[in-house]
Amino acid sequence: LILLRPLSSLFAKENLNRMSERQLNLYDRLINEPSNDWDIYYWATEAKPAPAEFENDVMAMLREFAKNKKKEQRLRQPDLEYLFEPPR
């Protein structure tokens, strides 16, 4: 949970404002339906395969984000001010 929260909240900050309604619904299911947050972390980091019902473009986006190719420091959740910014 400690590792997932910064990952998922930073992913949300970077991606939610440009997702389609379908993708938003998939993301909502992903973060709310699994009973174990660690499962989401393992799927996002490819430590375990995701169940078929969560294999979609949002999971692919989360996996790509988890790779952190820019080597950004992701130790804490973002401040919530981004929620009030206009869409990009």
Tell me the one-letter amino acid at 85.
E
**Whole-structure pTM value:** 0.75
Q: What is the pLDDT of residues 8-35, one digit of tens each?
A: 888 988 899 999 999 999 999 999 999 8
State yes or no: pLDDT of 1 exceeds 50: no
pLDDT at 46: 96
Q: Hey, where are the domains in the chain?
A: 4-69
Confidence at residue 59, expressed as pLDDT on a 0 to 100 scale: 97
- pLDDT exceeds 70 at position 45: yes
Residue 7 has a pLDDT of: 78
